Chains A and B, each alone.
Chain A
């Protein structure tokens, strides 16, 4: 099983739609979880951090299921500007090796 698995997509959704991505991880010792977004030819930028069961920030909700070892990202009322690749990152803490998921590409269409 890969350390981090994500559906590469692309997810093509209309503006205003709700879309959810899942990410599964194999290291049960992972303590912190992050979602990054990466625009084409740009650096990854932190979207959300998750330290307990979940986190919500405006239209974005992240939920963590430690028993099943997956983390999800829900985007409500999708905007054209949400089009990007979303990278899932479980972390064991400190400077330990951090493995990025392959990313899920989202394309919001008018």
Chain B
């Protein structure tokens, strides 16, 4: 079972709504990630937080806003999304140190539908 927990599992939102996806890990990992996955495609990196600081932003549109309140939590704030943003959003974490430091562990994902 995954030790990365994501909520909600399913979310339907209108294009004018504001919603948030939440992610939590208690493995003491110091890097956390947001990925987006469309059908029949591999996961696509959106953001990386390392030691609670934003390290990588893969030119993601500003309607997606990440937040890392502490080392265990990662949020993705959504506003004014488009139907093409409908996808599976995966949160992940990695240890950052040690032999297996860059092994990435995924949560079960949040299925987002924008209507």
Contact = CB atoms under 8 A, between A and B. Distances in A.
Interface of A: 32, 34, 41-46, 49, 51, 87, 89, 91, 93-103
Interface stretch (B13-21, B39-47, B64-72, B75-83): B39-47
Contacts of B48: 95, 97
Interface of B: 2, 31, 33, 41-45, 48, 50, 55-56, 58, 88, 90, 94, 96, 99-109
29 contacts: A32-B103, A41-B88, A42-B108, A43-B2, A43-B90, A43-B106, A43-B108, A44-B90, A46-B103, A49-B100, A51-B99, A87-B42, A87-B43, A93-B101, A93-B102, A94-B96, A95-B33, A95-B50, A95-B96, A96-B102, A97-B45, A97-B56, A97-B58, A98-B102, A99-B45, A100-B42, A100-B43, A100-B44, A103-B42
Nearest to A105: B40
Nearest to B111: A41
A16 B14 CA distance: 48
